[in-house]
Amino acid sequence: MSSFTTRVLSLVRRIPAGRVATYGDVAEAAGHPRAGRAVGNIMRGCSLRDVPCHRVVAAAGRLGGFGGYSGLKRQLLRAEGVQVVGSIIRDFRTRRHVFKVPPKHKGRQIR
């Protein structure tokens, strides 16, 4: 498993129930702001039960993919209190999780 994949999975585990983050949000927090598609690929291939992949959504609050099970993704989010109308998350701005990541110093994260 690559360090990027490990970081993505760690970040997704930190998204609280009832909140969502976009693929781009996760990519940026993982240090690769243009890697949203890569995050989507990681989510699609993830079968770890402790990783709430359903909380990662497409831009502007669209559900995005869930391995072909968008209905299940909708159900899981609704069970956490997230209102989903069609394939759009209602009140996306208030439901969006903001990652707290350490500041960068000369291109490297401070540990």
For residue 73, give the 3-state DSSP assignment.
helix
Query: CATH number, domain at 69?
Result: 1.10.10.10
Written as six digits, the tokens of 61 are 């609050």
Residue 77 CB burial class (10 angstroms; 0-12, 13-18, ≥19): buried
11 has a pLDDT exceeding 60: yes
- What's the pLDDT score for residue 104? 61
- What's the pLDDT score for residue 69? 84
Q: Which structural domain range is residue 74 located in?
A: 3-109
Number of domains the chain contains = 1
**Residue 5 pLDDT grade (very low, low, confident, very high; cuts 50, 70, 90):** very high
* Residues catalogued as catalytic: 53
Rounded CA-CA distance 38/73 in Å is 19
94 has a pLDDT exceeding 90: yes
**Residue 28 pLDDT grade (very low, low, confident, very high; cuts 50, 70, 90):** very high
Q: Which of 110, 70, 106, 105 is nearest to 87 (CA)?
A: 70
- What's the pLDDT score for residue 110? 46
Rounded CA-CA distance 28/49 in Å is 24
For residue 74, give the 3-state DSSP assignment.
helix
DSSP state of 58: -
> Which pairing describes strands 56-57 and 88-89: parallel, antiparallel, or unpaired?
unpaired
User: Is the model's pTM score more than 0.75?
Assistant: yes
Higher-confidence residue of 83 and 107: namely 83
- What's the pLDDT score for residue 66? 80
